[in-house]
A = this chain, B = another copy of it.
């Protein structure tokens, strides 16, 4: 297949490794959380709410932090609320909005999920990497995140 842009072997393995590793880690960690019936997305929301404390967080802020559409987030919140893990309250000072707050059941479940997540992460990620690796990674993330990753495509 001539005329096609080529990658070096090193480039290819850096990129493919990135994709594969992410995929595998994600799956493994999601599977760990699944035993508590918690998805990655749900875990993320519960964590954010735990950090937010008793005043909770606005729905739209949560959606944004989770990088989800607000529509999708509404339903995620529905599921969590139906399970009694969060509560919706009218937002103070804004009649349109709501804030979501963690219930005590939510907090209890989160604690278990936290432990699970943490243990899996340690076993699958941190135990396998040294401090140098971690520093190398953060250096790379910093370079990649430089300001304009979200600028969409160019090629004419």
Contact = CB atoms under 8 A, between A and B. Distances in A.
Interface stretch (A15-23, A55-63, A82-90): A15-23
Interface string A23-50: 1110110011001000000000000001
A122 to B, nearest CB: 8
Contacts of A18: 22, 137, 141
Contacts of A15: 121, 125
Nearest to A122: B5
A14 B153 contact: no
Contacts of A17: 137-138, 140-142, 145
Contacts of A114: 4-5
A142 B126 CA distance: 14
Nearest to A31: B152
B141 A21 contact: yes
A13 B131 CA distance: 12
A149 B3 CA distance: 37
A149 B1 contact: no
